[in-house]
Amino acid sequence: MYPQTQSVSQLTTKIRSTIENNDQLADIWVEGEISNLSQPRSGHIYFTLKDEIAQMRCVFFKQHHRGSNEHVELGASVIAHGKVTIYEPQGSLQILIDFVQPAGIGALNAEFERRKQRLQEMGMFAEERKRPLPRFPMHIGIVTSPTGAALRDIQTILNRRWPLAKTTVYPTEVQGTNAGISISSAIKTISESKEKTQNPEILIVARGGGSAEDLWAFNEDVVVEAVFASPVPVISGVGHETDITLIDLVADIRAATPSAAAEIATPDQIEIHTHIRNLISAEQYHLTSLIRHLDQTIESHKIRIENIRPNIEHHKERINNFLRALNYNINMSKLVANDKLKEVSTQLRTLSPKAVMERGFTITSTLDGKIITHAKSVKEKEFLKIQWQDNSRIIRIESENGK
């Protein structure tokens, strides 16, 4: 095969691609002293990171600062995270920095702070998204090692405090290379369940104490994302009280230990029983007091009724007497009214025109019915009507004044 030439830019591009596709160079922590510091108005930071033997150029772009640029000072010893690349125009190696911490904290702690800052900027620690726990859970899930002391401690406390709840253990590795994937898979089992009604109401993610390396699985992105996406509230109970992991910050509630997580998740049945007994006693006392008050009220009204009974009887007798007198007066008034009616009827019959005519009198009237009471009102040649008891006649006045 004949050799082929390539341009310098082709070579630097190939070198850059080779370096950036190397996993060992794409996610690195490097420690050294800052020199040749330059901070132009663009906001980017340029410096050299060196030790006693070697040095390397670094670029800390503005969009990657995220507040960690406060540790970038001339002469400072730092630990920096980034990836190795090549600056093609000059063909020089450099590190693209995205996070800086003081050198004394160690790579593990620095990586923890880097991930913590990134997750916080994503809003995964926001208090407003955290959910309250159900007051009386009837199904509790536990993600932990099936053989660890943490599971025994949790189950002991759950059985003592709230034995009514069903518990489901989602077994997982809690330490080692595959622990992160194992823990996240156990948590996702709930999200992927088709029978949502069978899901636990609370999920406890726990393990016992250990070194920072032992607990590192609970800082892995896959575990943090699984806790964040959990469909039910999550209580983290990892390590001892002084141990902090990233799932402690993203979980709905953080417990100091696995045992504390079990206590937070459940009410105390003894306290519940005591509370119920107190409620029953209070209600019994209230009902007893109410019945006593009603009895006293009834007795008081009975006494008042007995006291006013004589007055009632007296007024009843008075009313009866009044009614008898009223009936007597009404009957007497009816008798008097009947006698008066008869008297008036007799007088009316005596004074009626018919009775007068029976005694020989007549009634004279004009043809239109006007009664003639005076002779002077009669005109000559006028027709009049004369009414007797049994008949009437029409007459004509031939002359006035008897002429």
Give, in order, the Cα–Cα distances in Å from 372 to each of 153, 369, 379, 399. Answer: 135, 9, 11, 16
Smallest CA-to-CA distance from 129 within 14, 12, 233 is with: 233
**Beta carbons within 8 Å of 47's beta carbon, 6+ residues apart:** 34, 35, 36, 37, 38, 57, 58, 60, 72, 74
Looking at the predicted structure, is the pLDDT value of residue 238 above 60?
Answer: yes
Same fold, 9-121 and 136-267: no
Average pLDDT over residues 148-158: 94
Q: What is the pLDDT of residue 400?
A: 63
Kindly list the domain boundaries of the chain, sorted by start residue.
9-121, 136-267, 271-316, 356-396
Give the span between the Cα atoms of 125 and 119, in whole angstroms.
7
Beta-carbon count within 10 A of 251 CB: 27
Q: What is the model's pLDDT at position 1?
A: 63
Is 60 exceeded by the pLDDT of residue 22?
A: yes
The order of strands in the sheet holding 234-238 is 166-171, 139-144, 202-207, 234-238, 253-254
Q: Are 25 and 84 in contact (CB under 8 A)?
A: yes
Q: What is the pLDDT, as a whole number, of residue 365?
A: 80
238 backbone φψ class: left, alpha, beta (φ>0; ψ -120 to 50): beta
Distance, in Å, from the CA atom of 133 to the CA atom of 224, rounded to the nearest integer, reads 19
Q: For residues 272-290, give the mean pLDDT.
A: 90
Residue partners of 84: CB distance under 8 A and separation at least 6: 19, 20, 22, 25, 26, 28, 93, 94, 95
CB 155 within 8 A of CB 167: yes
- Range in 176-180, 289-293, 326-330, 389-393 the model is least confident about: 389-393
CB 41 within 8 A of CB 29: no
Residue 111 has pLDDT above 70, yes or no: yes
pLDDT of 172 higher than 80: yes
Question: Quick check: 134 and 201 in contact, CB under 8 A?
Answer: yes
Name the CATH superfamily, with its identifier, for domain 9-121: Nucleic acid-binding proteins (2.40.50.140)
List pLDDT tens digits, range 121-150: 899 999 999 999 999 999 999 999 999 899
- pLDDT score for 315: 82
Which tokens hold the place of 258?
């696995």
pLDDT, averaged across the chain: 87
Contact between 251 and 240 (Cβ < 8 Å):
no
DSSP result, 54-100 = -EEEEEE-GGG-TTGGGG--TT-EEEEEEEEEEETTTTEEEEEEEEE
CA separation for the pair 2, 364 (Å, rounded): 171
How confident is the model over 97-123, as a mean pLDDT? Answer: 87
Is the domain spanning 136-267 CATH 3.40.50.280? The answer is: yes
Strands 253-254 and 234-238: parallel
CB 269 within 8 A of CB 161: yes
CB atoms within 10 A of CB 395: 11
* 115 CB burial (10 A radius; 0-12, 13-18, 19+): middle
Express each pLDDT in 28-87 by its tens digit.
989 899 899 898 988 899 999 998 899 999 999 988 876 677 888 888 888 998 999 998
Instruction: Please give the pLDDT value at position 247.
Output: 96
